[in-house]
Amino acid sequence: MMKRIALIACLAIFVASLAGAQTVVGSKHDLSAALPVSQRVCVFCHTPHQPEGPPQINYYPLWNHELSTVAAYGTYDSGTFDAGTGGAALNTIADIGGGTAVSNLCMSCHDDTVGVGTLYNDPNIAAGEETPTNAATLISAIGTGSANMGTDLTNDHPVNFTYDNALFLADTELVDPTNAAVAPLLIAGTVQCSSCHDVHDPTFLPFLVASNANSALCLTCHVK
């Protein structure tokens, strides 16, 4: 009996560890790590009050990082890209107004035009804590590594286009967008950075929504 209980307990811990998501704290998106005193992690992207906007629908997701003013990042295109002609350019503020283009939130740091520590609504400062002004100075740029995507997305996996039944029929080598594994990856029916990335969770580096071992993530949507 004891053995069986121990076995069940072990299994429970094992299953929990498989399901367990990690946290943004301590990840590369924990920008407070670069500051000597600040202990705020979420503040670089969110604020509980007075967030940026409108035009974001319902102020989602209570955004606190200065948005980029880049008008358009261009769109990936090719002879076989069926969403090409219909794919709208990834414009910054106007598209967030549609509630879909959350990719613009990522680009507010990853296009390297706004300081990583440049916040919209400065937090109240506890004694001894870094001021946002310090944050902007201390963490000024995304750096020169591959996380710096620049302002041209024509050479990246397409984002900000509709992945619907018409596209599924036109391409013939896509998984049906209503498929139980695909549907949760779409944001208001569109492919965005967050279709593949979870900004909060470093479990599957680099911040992927699921393991890409044997290209499993790619094969969730592509029949290849």
Rule CB under 6 A: which residues touch ligand HEC?
24, 28-29, 31, 41-42, 44-46, 61, 65, 78, 80-83, 102-103, 105-106, 108-110, 116, 142-143, 145-147, 149, 153, 157-159, 163, 167, 171, 174, 185, 191, 193-197, 199-200, 205-208, 212, 217-218, 220-222
Output the smallest distance, CB 23 to ligand HEC, in A: 7
Cβ closest to ligand HEC, residue 14 vs residue 39: 39
**Tally of CA atoms within 13 A in the half-sphere of 146 that contains its CB:** 2
Output the smallest distance, CB 9 to ligand HEC, in A: 30
The conformational region for residue 99 under phi > 0 = left, psi -120 to 50 = alpha, else beta, is: left
CA distance 82 to 79: 8
Cβ closest to ligand HEC, residue 205 vs residue 213: 205
Output the smallest distance, CB 122 to ligand HEC, in A: 15
For 49, other C-beta atoms within 10 Å of its C-beta total 7
Output the smallest distance, CB 28 to ligand HEC, in A: 4
Output the smallest distance, CB 70 to ligand HEC, in A: 12
Q: Please state, in angstroms and as integers, the Cα–Cα distance from residue 118 to each residue in 90, 140, 194, following that order.
A: 22, 8, 22
CA distance 141 to 160: 25
Tell me which residue of 194, 200, 181, 208 sits closest to 101, measured CA to CA. Answer: 194
Cβ closest to ligand HEC, residue 13 vs residue 86: 86
Is residue 68 within 8 Å of 89, Cβ to Cβ?
A: no
Tell me which residue of 43, 47, 48, 42 sits closest to 25, measured CA to CA. Answer: 42
Cβ closest to ligand HEC, residue 70 vs residue 116: 116
Cβ closest to ligand HEC, residue 92 vs residue 103: 103
